Amino acid sequence: MSTSEQTTDPLAGFVEKAPLERYVAPATPSLVGLSRAELAEALASVGVPASQRRMRTQQIWNWLYARGATGFEQMTSVSKELRAALAEKFTLARPEVVAEQVSVDGTRKWLLRLPSENPGERPHEVECVYIPETDRGTLCVSSQVGCTLTCSFCHTGTQRLVRNLTAGEIVGQVMLARDRLGDWSARAAPQGAPQGEPEAGTAPKEGGRLITNVVMMGMGEPLYNFEAVRDALLIVADNEGIGISKRRITLSTSGVVPNIARAGAEIGVMLAISLHAVRDELRNELVPLNRKYPIAELLEACRNYPGLTNAKRITFEYVMLKGVNDSLADAKALVKLLKGIPAKINLIPFNPWPGSRYECSDWEQIEKFSEYVFSAGYSSPVRTPRGRDILAACGQLKSVTEKLSARERMALRAMAMTD
């Protein structure tokens, strides 16, 4: 898998912090993240004759993505010779978990270590979060280490180090979450994983699975890592494998307009737009990418997103910033702006972090805003912050690659816990 051309987009120099570097894969590559065609190539490279490749690809695909095999020895329907040949050249490695934290509300956050693009350099770290609710379990997946964009209210945006994740590292997050939660149907749950009757904060197993939904809302801008995100999501959605349907996968973007059409054509998952402001002047400040792709262009791309109906709407995310974007006039303008687009509005209480210049809107104001939007016919759930005590809430993800001091960490946690 190669990094895409988008990955080196200099973003016209106005929001870029660090150039995206090329990724060099570890010496022994993992099969995790390979498409069927790439798996067939891997099989060819260990000498599987062309006449058998299709069948063998199906077999390995099933072991890998439907059953979650973590070692070649588990692939009992594959000959010993082929297993040995594969094990010599490949692994089934997922990103390495360096820490697991469980919130009082059941949210789980995994800190993952990924190899640096330069051998010998410090590895990178990203985070992946599982959020259990009564009717679903959502996995929040990262697409980049850090983010080249610099939204002024987002902690991830302050991180300097950036590299794109590979498709394997993206699919690998879903797979390791299934490993840790015991969420592969054919395998027993590991010790410590939620089992049986759901306890507080663990989702009931719907259709036998804990992870029912995937959101690309972790670290990074998924549409600036287009190919890897596309390849990964097509694997996650494949119903002969991980099998999470496209209707249950949401890709959130800050508004990379040209790639919205591509996402519609080449991925076809649900779309969420981080709108956050109804005027270009304010959005330029909150989401600097708006200077490149202003609101009118962004909404035009949304109108053209394929397959929109009342049952398949675009979610518009709107972070509630006290005195900045939370007036009733803003709510009215928002409703006007979205006219004609099948839309849901998701109000996100701002999650503060040390050094952030914003405050979360007062609860009363959030309610007023939400009521107005609701009375105009939009579903407008206010997203309950989850996992605040383990810094897993929206916009709080920032890996320890850039070490926070103990004091900063305590301050962050204290801020996160105050309502």
Distance of CA 72 to the CA centre of its chain: 28
Site string for ligand SAH, 398-417 (x = CB under 6 A): --------------------
∠263-219-138 over CA atoms, to 5°?
75
The CA-atom distances, in angstroms, between 180 and each of 249, 319, 380 are: 20, 31, 33
- Residue in the block written with tokens 């919130």: 103
By C-beta, is 102 or 249 nearer to ligand SF4? Answer: 249
Q: In what order do the strands lie in the sheet with 249-253?
A: 96-102, 108-114, 124-132, 137-140, 213-216, 249-253, 270-274, 314-320, 343-349
Beta-bridged to residue 272, according to DSSP, are 252, 315
The alpha helices in 221-311, defined as continuous H runs, are: 226-237, 257-266, 280-286, 295-303
Interatomic CA distance for residues 271 and 345, integer angstroms? 12
Single out the segment in contact with ligand SAH by CB under 6 A; choices: 33-41, 108-116, 247-255, 295-303: 247-255
Interatomic CA distance for residues 81 and 132, integer angstroms: 42
Q: At which residue do the structure tokens 């912090």 appear? A: 17
Which residue among 147, 154, 360, 394 is the active-site one?
A: 394
Q: Find which of ligand SAH, ligand SF4, none residue 394 binds, CB within 5 to 8 Å per kind.
A: ligand SAH
Minimal distance, residue 294 CB to ligand SF4, in Å: 16
In angstroms, rounded to a whole number, what is the distance separating the alpha carbons of residues 21 and 43?
A: 30
The DSSP output letter for 65 is: I
CA angle 358, 363, 364 (to 5 degrees): 120
When CB distances are held under 5 to 8 angstroms depending on the partner's kind, the choice from ligand SF4, ligand SAH, none that residue 132 binds is none
Q: Compute the least distance from the CB of residue 358 to ligand SF4, in Å.
A: 13
Q: Which residue is nearest to ligand SAH (CB)?
A: 395
CB of 143 to ligand SF4, least distance (A): 9
Mask for 212-231, x = binds ligand SF4 (CB under 6 A): --------xx----------
Question: Should residue 348 be labelled a site residue for ligand SAH when binding is judged by CB under 6 A?
Answer: yes
The single residue among 111, 149, 295, 347 that binds ligand SF4, judged by CB under 6 A, is 149
Residues 264-283 that bind ligand SF4 (CB under 6 A): 274
Near ligand SAH by CB under 6 A, which window of 94-102, 108-116, 249-257, 292-300?
A: 249-257
- Which of ligand SF4, ligand SAH, none has residue 350 at its interface (CB below 5 to 8 Å by kind)? ligand SAH
Alpha-carbon span 29 to 10, nearest angstrom: 29
Please state the three-class secondary structure of 174-220 as a single string: HHHHHHHHCCCCCCCCCCCCCCCCCCCCCCCCECCECCCEEEECCCC
151 lines the binding site for ligand SF4 (CB under 6 A):
yes
Q: Indicate if 394 belongs to the active site.
A: yes
Q: Which amino acid is at 76?
A: T
Residue 406, CB half-sphere, CA atoms under 13 Å: how many? 0
Question: Which of 253, 325, 361, 399 touches ligand SAH (CB under 6 A)?
Answer: 253
The residues, ordered by sequence, that sit 6+ positions from 12 with a Cβ below 8 Å of its Cβ are 292
Task: Lay out the site mask for ligand SAH across 255-294 (x = CB under 6 A, - = otherwise).
Answer: -------------------x--------------------
Distance CA 132, CA 138 (A): 6
Q: With binding defined as CB under 6 A, does residue 395 bind ligand SAH? A: yes
369 counts as binding ligand SAH under rule CB under 6 A? no
Stretch binding ligand SAH (CB under 6 A), from 111-119, 152-160, 166-174, 296-304: 152-160
- Tell me if residue 127 is catalytic: yes
User: Whole-number minimum distance, CB 171 to ligand SF4, in Å?
Assistant: 20
Q: Which of 341, 321, 313, 343 is nearest to 276 (CA)?
A: 321
Point out which span in 35-43, 146-154, 189-197, 351-359 binds ligand SF4 (CB under 6 A): 146-154
Name the closest residue to ligand SF4 (Cβ): 157
- Contact between 342 and 379 (Cβ < 8 Å): no
Indicate which residue of 125, 127, 133, 317 is catalytic: 127
The alpha carbon dihedral of 283, 287, 291, 295 has a sign of negative
CB of 39 to ligand SF4, least distance (A): 31
- Contacting positions for ligand SAH (CB under 6 A): 151, 153-155, 217, 221, 252-254, 274, 317, 319, 348, 350-351, 394-395
The catalytic residue positions are: 127, 394
- Contacting positions for ligand SF4 (CB under 6 A): 147, 149-151, 154, 156-157, 220-221, 254, 274
